[in-house]
Amino acid sequence: MIFPRSAPALARQRLPVCGLALAFLAVPLFVLSSGCQSLYFGAMQQMGAHARQLLVERVVLAKQAQGEAQEQFKTALEAFRSTTDFDGGELEAYYKKIKAEYDRSVQRAQAVESRIDKVESASERLFDEWQGDIDQMSDPSMKAKNSELRGDARRRYAELIAKMRAAEAKMAPVLTKFKDRVLFIKGNLNYAAIDSLKGDLASIEGDVGALIADMQVSIEEADAFIAAMGGTQAP
Protein backbone atom coordinates (compact mmCIF):
# COMPACT_ATOMS: atom_id res chain seq x y z
CA MET A 1 0.00 0.00 0.00
CA ILE A 2 1.34 3.45 -0.94
CA PHE A 3 0.81 6.14 1.64
CA PRO A 4 0.57 9.80 0.59
CA ARG A 5 3.55 11.92 1.47
CA SER A 6 3.26 13.97 4.62
CA ALA A 7 3.09 17.76 4.50
CA PRO A 8 6.60 18.16 5.98
CA ALA A 9 7.98 15.85 3.34
CA LEU A 10 6.33 17.88 0.58
CA ALA A 11 7.66 21.09 2.15
CA ARG A 12 11.15 19.62 2.15
CA GLN A 13 10.72 18.69 -1.48
CA ARG A 14 9.79 22.27 -2.44
CA LEU A 15 12.42 23.91 -0.25
CA PRO A 16 15.23 23.80 -2.84
CA VAL A 17 13.08 25.87 -5.20
CA CYS A 18 12.57 28.50 -2.48
CA GLY A 19 16.24 28.28 -1.56
CA LEU A 20 17.22 28.94 -5.14
CA ALA A 21 14.94 31.97 -5.28
CA LEU A 22 16.34 33.25 -1.99
CA ALA A 23 19.84 32.91 -3.34
CA PHE A 24 18.87 35.59 -5.84
CA LEU A 25 16.96 38.07 -3.70
CA ALA A 26 16.20 40.23 -6.69
CA VAL A 27 13.61 37.67 -7.88
CA PRO A 28 10.21 39.43 -8.19
CA LEU A 29 7.84 38.46 -5.41
CA PHE A 30 4.97 37.64 -7.74
CA VAL A 31 6.85 34.59 -9.09
CA LEU A 32 7.18 33.08 -5.62
CA SER A 33 4.61 30.97 -3.86
CA SER A 34 3.18 32.24 -0.57
CA GLY A 35 5.51 29.90 1.33
CA CYS A 36 8.52 31.13 -0.57
CA GLN A 37 7.46 34.75 -0.01
CA SER A 38 7.48 34.14 3.74
CA LEU A 39 10.97 32.70 3.53
CA TYR A 40 12.02 35.62 1.34
CA PHE A 41 10.87 38.26 3.80
CA GLY A 42 12.38 36.31 6.69
CA ALA A 43 15.74 36.22 4.93
CA MET A 44 15.55 39.94 4.16
CA GLN A 45 14.81 40.75 7.79
CA GLN A 46 17.69 38.58 8.96
CA MET A 47 20.04 40.31 6.53
CA GLY A 48 18.93 43.73 7.75
CA ALA A 49 19.20 42.71 11.40
CA HIS A 50 22.67 41.30 10.83
CA ALA A 51 23.88 44.47 9.11
CA ARG A 52 22.44 46.62 11.89
CA GLN A 53 24.00 44.47 14.61
CA LEU A 54 27.35 44.45 12.80
CA LEU A 55 27.37 48.26 12.76
CA VAL A 56 26.44 48.45 16.44
CA GLU A 57 29.17 45.95 17.36
CA ARG A 58 31.79 47.91 15.42
CA VAL A 59 30.73 51.18 17.03
CA VAL A 60 31.10 49.51 20.44
CA LEU A 61 34.61 48.33 19.52
CA ALA A 62 35.57 51.78 18.21
CA LYS A 63 34.30 53.33 21.42
CA GLN A 64 36.38 50.88 23.46
CA ALA A 65 39.47 51.66 21.36
CA GLN A 66 38.99 55.37 21.99
CA GLY A 67 38.62 54.78 25.72
CA GLU A 68 41.84 52.76 25.77
CA ALA A 69 43.60 55.47 23.77
CA GLN A 70 42.38 58.09 26.26
CA GLU A 71 43.99 56.22 29.13
CA GLN A 72 47.22 55.61 27.22
CA PHE A 73 47.64 59.27 26.25
CA LYS A 74 47.06 60.25 29.89
CA THR A 75 49.73 57.75 30.98
CA ALA A 76 52.16 58.99 28.33
CA LEU A 77 51.59 62.59 29.37
CA GLU A 78 52.44 61.70 32.96
CA ALA A 79 55.66 60.10 31.76
CA PHE A 80 56.60 63.22 29.82
CA ARG A 81 55.64 65.42 32.77
CA SER A 82 58.23 63.56 34.82
CA THR A 83 60.82 65.29 32.63
CA THR A 84 60.29 68.47 34.58
CA ASP A 85 60.66 66.63 37.89
CA PHE A 86 63.69 64.60 36.90
CA ASP A 87 66.12 64.80 39.82
CA GLY A 88 68.73 62.31 38.86
CA GLY A 89 68.92 58.61 38.21
CA GLU A 90 69.62 56.45 35.22
CA LEU A 91 69.12 58.55 32.07
CA GLU A 92 68.99 55.53 29.77
CA ALA A 93 66.20 53.97 31.84
CA TYR A 94 64.27 57.24 31.72
CA TYR A 95 64.60 57.38 27.94
CA LYS A 96 63.39 53.80 27.59
CA LYS A 97 60.35 54.57 29.74
CA ILE A 98 59.14 57.51 27.66
CA LYS A 99 59.98 55.68 24.42
CA ALA A 100 57.80 52.75 25.53
CA GLU A 101 54.91 55.09 26.37
CA TYR A 102 55.23 56.77 22.98
CA ASP A 103 55.21 53.40 21.19
CA ARG A 104 52.10 52.29 23.09
CA SER A 105 50.41 55.57 22.21
CA VAL A 106 51.12 54.96 18.53
CA GLN A 107 49.62 51.47 18.79
CA ARG A 108 46.47 52.81 20.46
CA ALA A 109 46.12 55.50 17.81
CA GLN A 110 46.42 52.91 15.04
CA ALA A 111 43.78 50.75 16.74
CA VAL A 112 41.38 53.71 16.89
CA GLU A 113 41.88 54.46 13.19
CA SER A 114 41.35 50.81 12.25
CA ARG A 115 38.17 50.54 14.33
CA ILE A 116 36.70 53.70 12.83
CA ASP A 117 37.47 52.43 9.32
CA LYS A 118 35.52 49.27 10.14
CA VAL A 119 32.59 51.33 11.42
CA GLU A 120 32.47 53.12 8.08
CA SER A 121 32.52 49.88 6.07
CA ALA A 122 29.71 48.41 8.22
CA SER A 123 27.63 51.57 7.83
CA GLU A 124 27.90 51.42 4.05
CA ARG A 125 26.61 47.87 4.08
CA LEU A 126 23.69 48.71 6.38
CA PHE A 127 22.51 51.79 4.52
CA ASP A 128 22.92 50.15 1.11
CA GLU A 129 20.84 47.14 2.21
CA TRP A 130 18.29 49.43 3.82
CA GLN A 131 17.91 51.42 0.60
CA GLY A 132 17.58 48.18 -1.34
CA ASP A 133 14.70 47.14 0.90
CA ILE A 134 13.01 50.50 0.40
CA ASP A 135 13.33 50.22 -3.38
CA GLN A 136 11.47 46.89 -3.29
CA MET A 137 8.52 48.22 -1.27
CA SER A 138 5.21 48.92 -3.06
CA ASP A 139 3.11 50.65 -0.39
CA PRO A 140 3.83 54.42 -0.74
CA SER A 141 3.12 55.19 2.92
CA MET A 142 5.35 52.42 4.27
CA LYS A 143 8.03 53.30 1.73
CA ALA A 144 8.02 56.95 2.81
CA LYS A 145 8.14 56.02 6.49
CA ASN A 146 11.02 53.63 5.96
CA SER A 147 12.90 56.29 3.98
CA GLU A 148 12.35 58.74 6.82
CA LEU A 149 13.69 56.27 9.37
CA ARG A 150 16.72 55.56 7.20
CA GLY A 151 17.36 59.27 6.82
CA ASP A 152 17.18 59.82 10.58
CA ALA A 153 19.59 56.94 11.22
CA ARG A 154 21.99 58.20 8.57
CA ARG A 155 22.01 61.72 10.04
CA ARG A 156 22.72 60.35 13.49
CA TYR A 157 25.48 58.19 12.03
CA ALA A 158 26.98 61.20 10.23
CA GLU A 159 27.19 63.05 13.54
CA LEU A 160 28.86 60.07 15.16
CA ILE A 161 31.49 59.50 12.48
CA ALA A 162 32.28 63.23 12.33
CA LYS A 163 33.03 63.27 16.06
CA MET A 164 35.05 60.07 15.84
CA ARG A 165 37.16 61.42 12.98
CA ALA A 166 37.60 64.79 14.73
CA ALA A 167 39.03 63.07 17.81
CA GLU A 168 41.18 60.80 15.64
CA ALA A 169 42.63 63.82 13.80
CA LYS A 170 43.95 65.28 17.07
CA MET A 171 46.06 62.22 17.84
CA ALA A 172 48.67 62.83 15.10
CA PRO A 173 49.82 66.27 16.34
CA VAL A 174 50.15 64.93 19.88
CA LEU A 175 52.13 61.92 18.68
CA THR A 176 54.41 64.24 16.70
CA LYS A 177 55.23 66.21 19.85
CA PHE A 178 55.76 63.00 21.80
CA LYS A 179 58.09 61.71 19.10
CA ASP A 180 60.12 64.93 18.94
CA ARG A 181 60.58 64.84 22.70
CA VAL A 182 61.67 61.19 22.62
CA LEU A 183 64.18 61.79 19.83
CA PHE A 184 65.56 64.89 21.53
CA ILE A 185 66.19 63.01 24.77
CA LYS A 186 67.65 60.05 22.87
CA GLY A 187 70.30 62.29 21.31
CA ASN A 188 70.93 64.33 24.45
CA LEU A 189 71.12 62.05 27.46
CA ASN A 190 72.17 64.70 29.93
CA TYR A 191 70.44 66.61 32.69
CA ALA A 192 70.80 70.02 31.04
CA ALA A 193 69.01 68.81 27.90
CA ILE A 194 66.16 67.28 29.90
CA ASP A 195 65.82 70.46 31.95
CA SER A 196 65.52 72.50 28.76
CA LEU A 197 62.28 70.73 27.86
CA LYS A 198 60.30 72.29 30.69
CA GLY A 199 59.24 75.23 28.56
CA ASP A 200 57.18 73.31 26.00
CA LEU A 201 55.35 71.06 28.45
CA ALA A 202 52.33 73.39 28.64
CA SER A 203 51.78 73.04 24.89
CA ILE A 204 51.76 69.24 25.10
CA GLU A 205 49.41 69.32 28.08
CA GLY A 206 47.00 71.53 26.15
CA ASP A 207 47.02 69.27 23.11
CA VAL A 208 46.51 66.11 25.15
CA GLY A 209 43.73 67.76 27.14
CA ALA A 210 41.91 68.76 23.93
CA LEU A 211 42.37 65.25 22.52
CA ILE A 212 40.97 63.57 25.62
CA ALA A 213 38.00 65.96 25.67
CA ASP A 214 37.19 65.28 22.00
CA MET A 215 37.46 61.55 22.57
CA GLN A 216 35.01 61.81 25.46
CA VAL A 217 32.54 63.64 23.23
CA SER A 218 32.95 60.90 20.62
CA ILE A 219 32.45 58.15 23.21
CA GLU A 220 29.25 59.78 24.48
CA GLU A 221 27.97 60.16 20.92
CA ALA A 222 28.72 56.47 20.36
CA ASP A 223 26.66 55.57 23.43
CA ALA A 224 23.72 57.61 22.09
CA PHE A 225 24.01 56.01 18.65
CA ILE A 226 24.13 52.49 20.09
CA ALA A 227 21.02 53.16 22.16
CA ALA A 228 19.18 54.65 19.17
CA MET A 229 20.02 51.61 17.05
CA GLY A 230 18.65 49.29 19.69
CA GLY A 231 22.06 47.93 20.61
CA THR A 232 23.52 47.19 24.01
CA GLN A 233 26.58 48.49 25.76
CA ALA A 234 29.65 46.32 25.86
CA PRO A 235 30.37 44.78 29.25
Lowest mean pLDDT among 83-87, 132-136, 153-157, 214-218: 83-87
Lowest mean pLDDT among 110-124, 177-191, 204-218: 177-191
Over range 132-149, report the average pLDDT.
Answer: 93
| pLDDT score of 3 more than 80 | no
Band the pLDDT of 115: cuts 50, 70, 90.
very high
Over range 79-87, report the average pLDDT.
Answer: 69
The rounded mean pLDDT for the chain is 80
In this predicted model, what pLDDT tens digit does every residue of 181-190 receive, in sequence order? 999 888 887 7
Please give, one letter per residue, the 3-state secondary structure of the chain. Answer: CCCCCCHHHHHHHHHHHHHHHHHCCCCCHHHCCHHHHHHHHHHHHHHHHHHHHHHHHHHHHHHHHHHHHHHHHHHHHHHHHCCCCCCCCCHHHHHHHHHHHHHHHHHHHHHHHHHHHHHHHHHHHHHHHHHHHHHHCCCHHHHHHHHHHHHHHHHHHHHHHHHHHHHHHCHHHHHHHHHHHHHHHHHCCCHHHHHHHHHHHHHHHHHHHHHHHHHHHHHHHHHHHHHHCCCCCCC
| pLDDT score of 5 more than 90 | no
| pLDDT score of 208 more than 70 | yes
This prediction has a pTM of 0.75
In this predicted model, what pLDDT tens digit does every residue of 19-78 receive, in sequence order? 433 333 334 444 444 454 444 444 444 556 788 899 999 999 999 999 999 999 999 999
